Amino acid sequence: MAVPKKRTGHSAQGSRRANWKATKPETTKCPNCGATVLTHTVCTACGTYKGQPVKLADKAAAATVSEPAKKPAKKTSAKKTASKSTKAKKSTPVEETKVEEVKVEEVKAEETTVEEKTEE
């Protein structure tokens, strides 16, 4: 295998890298709503591609991909959790389940509005 005899200088390295240029991504206008969209992708504003509405399952999968993932909760030792629970309880499990139910209902409401928009 060939090994260079001398180290490449800063000037030679820079002139070699002079052609490494970033390019702008190609964009087009959505024919349905007129929003600026990357070429060959689904319009994020109206959910259409080449004038055709995209299936709801595909749109839901794309929405889950674009949302940032939640970080998992930090694990604590049994001693710390025991000491925290004996000091004071700020919220009861019943309140936590109510909050989760409200969140689930909000997500279902958003899904129904998306379905109504796609049916139109």
What is the amino acid identity at position 101?
Answer: E
pLDDT for residue 50 is more than 70: yes
- Residue 78 pLDDT more than 80? no
- Average pLDDT score over residue span 14-38: 91
Residues 25, 38 contacting (CB under 8 angstroms):
yes
User: Mapping DSSP to helix (H, G, I), strand (E, B) and coil, where does residue 33 land?
Assistant: coil
| Cα 29–Cα 119–Cα 109 angle in degrees, nearest 5 | 100
pTM comes to: 0.34
CA gap 89, 86 in Å, rounded? 8
Kindly tell me if the per-residue pLDDT of 45 is higher than 80: yes
Instruction: Dump pLDDT digits (tens) for 99-112.
Output: 666 666 777 777 76
> 33-39 long-range CB contacts below 8 Å, 24 or more apart?
none
